[in-house]
A and B are shown apart, each in its own frame.
Chain A
Amino acid sequence: MKIQKRSTALAAILLTATFAFAGCGSDSDDGGSASDGGSGGGGGDLSITMLPKNLGNAYFDTSTDGAEKAATEIGAEFEEVGPDTASPDAQVSYINTVAQQGKSALILSANDPDALCDAIDEARSADVKVVTFDADTNPDCRDLFINQATAEGIAAKQLELISDQIGGKGEIAILSASANATNQNAWIDMMESELADNPDYADIELVDTVYGDDEDQKSFDQTEALLQNHPDLKGIISPTTVGIAAAARYLSDSSSKGKVALTGLGTPNQMREYVEDGTVTSFALWNPGDLGYLATFAAAALVDGDITGAEGDSFDAGDLGTFEVGADGVVLLGEPFTFDADNIGDFDF
Chain B
Amino acid sequence: MSTATATPARTYSSYSAPLWKRWLVTRETAVIVLTAAVILYSLANVPNFDGPLTLKFLLQDIAPILLIALPMTLVIITGEIDLSVASIMGLSSVLLGVLHDAGMSVPAAALLALLAGLVCGALNGFLIAYVGLPSLAVTIGTLALFRGIAVGLLGTTAITDFTEKWADLATGTIGDSRIPLVMIPFAVLAVGFVVLLHFSTFGRGVYEIGLNDEAAHFTGVNVARTKMVLFLLSGVVSALAGIYFTLRYGSARGDNATGYELQVIAAVLLGGVSIFGGRGRLHGVLAGVVLIGVLSSALRLESVTVNVTNIIVGLLLVASVILPSVLGWAGSRLPRKASAAPAGPRPDKDAATADV
Taking beta carbons and an 8 Å cutoff, which residues of A are in contact with B? 1-8, 10-12, 14-15, 18-19, 22-23, 25-26, 29-30, 34-35, 55, 79, 81-85, 87-90, 92-94, 96-97, 99-102, 112-115, 117-118, 122, 126
Q: Please measure, in the bound complex, the distance between the C-alpha atom of A66 and the C-alpha atom of B37, giving whole angstroms.
A: 40
Q: Please measure, in the bound complex, the distance between the C-alpha atom of A192 and the C-alpha atom of B158, giving whole angstroms.
A: 32
Mostly helix, strand, loop or mixed at chain B's interface? helix
Mostly helix, strand, loop or mixed at chain A's interface? helix
Q: Please measure, in the bound complex, the distance between the C-alpha atom of A118 and the C-alpha atom of B168, giving whole angstroms.
A: 9
B266 → chain A, closest Cβ, in Å?
Answer: 16
Q: Please measure, in the bound complex, the distance between the C-alpha atom of A81 and the C-alpha atom of B213, giving whole angstroms.
A: 48
A153 → chain B, closest Cβ, in Å?
Answer: 27
Most buried by B among A7, A55, A82: A7
Taking beta carbons and an 8 Å cutoff, which residues of B are in contact with A? 21, 25-27, 30, 33-34, 37-38, 41, 45-49, 51, 53-54, 57, 61, 158, 160-161, 167, 171, 245, 248-251, 253, 255-258, 296-307, 310, 312, 315-316, 319-320, 323-324, 327-328, 331, 351, 355-356
Residues of B within 8 A of A84 (CB): 306-307, 310
Residues of A within 8 A of B255 (CB): 87
Instruction: Check B351–A115 contact: CB distance below 8 A.
Output: no
Q: Please measure, in the bound complex, the distance between the C-alpha atom of A32 and the C-alpha atom of B319, giving whole angstroms.
A: 35
Q: Of all chain B residues, which has the CB nearest A23?
A: B45
Instruction: Check B34–A87 contact: CB distance below 8 A.
Output: no
A83 → chain B, closest Cβ, in Å?
Answer: 6
Residues of A within 8 A of B34 (CB): 11-12, 15
Instruction: Check B256–A7 contact: CB distance below 8 A.
Output: no
Q: Can you identify 28 A-B contacts, CB atoms within 8 angstroms?
A: A1-B21, A1-B25, A3-B328, A3-B351, A4-B27, A11-B319, A11-B320, A12-B34, A14-B319, A15-B34, A19-B41, A23-B302, A26-B45, A29-B47, A30-B47, A79-B303, A85-B258, A88-B251, A93-B61, A93-B300, A102-B51, A112-B253, A114-B161, A115-B249, A117-B250, A118-B249, A118-B250, A122-B53
Residue from the list A18, A25, A92 in contact with B249, Cβ < 8 A: A92
Q: Please measure, in the bound complex, the distance between the C-alpha atom of A23 and the C-alpha atom of B307, giving whole angstroms.
A: 17
Instruction: Check A14–B316 contact: CB distance below 8 A.
Output: yes
Instruction: Check A100–B302 contact: CB distance below 8 A.
Output: no
Q: Please measure, in the bound complex, the distance between the C-alpha atom of A5 and the C-alpha atom of B21, giving whole angstroms.
A: 12
Q: Please measure, in the bound complex, the distance between the C-alpha atom of A10 and the C-alpha atom of B54, giving whole angstroms.
A: 29
Residues of B within 8 A of A126 (CB): 53
Q: Please measure, in the bound complex, the distance between the C-alpha atom of A126 and the C-alpha atom of B52, giving whole angstroms.
A: 11
Instruction: Check A100–B53 contact: CB distance below 8 A.
Output: yes
Residues of A within 8 A of B171 (CB): 118
Instruction: Check A22–B351 contact: CB distance below 8 A.
Output: no
Q: Please measure, in the bound complex, the distance between the C-alpha atom of A89 and the C-alpha atom of B304, giving whole angstroms.
A: 18
Instruction: Check B53–A96 contact: CB distance below 8 A.
Output: yes
Q: Please measure, in the bound complex, the distance between the C-alpha atom of A117 and the C-alpha atom of B167, giving whole angstroms.
A: 12
B290 → chain A, closest Cβ, in Å?
Answer: 14
Residues of B within 8 A of A30 (CB): 47
Instruction: Check B303–A89 contact: CB distance below 8 A.
Output: no
Residues of B within 8 A of A101 (CB): 47-48, 301
Q: Please measure, in the bound complex, the distance between the C-alpha atom of A265 and the C-alpha atom of B139, giving whole angstroms.
A: 44
A49 → chain B, closest Cβ, in Å?
Answer: 9
Contacts known (A89-B257, A102-B48); A3 close to B327, Cβ less than 8 A: yes
Q: Of all chain B residues, which has the CB nearest A126?
A: B53
Instruction: Check A3–B158 contact: CB distance below 8 A.
Output: no
Residue from the list A3, A34, A114 in contact with B355, Cβ < 8 A: A3
Residues of A within 8 A of B305 (CB): 55, 81
Residues of B within 8 A of A102 (CB): 48, 51
Apart from A19-B45, A115-B249, list 13 A-B contacts with CB within 8 A.
Answer: A10-B323, A11-B34, A15-B37, A25-B304, A35-B48, A81-B300, A81-B303, A81-B305, A84-B307, A89-B256, A94-B300, A97-B57, A99-B57
Residues of A within 8 A of B257 (CB): 89
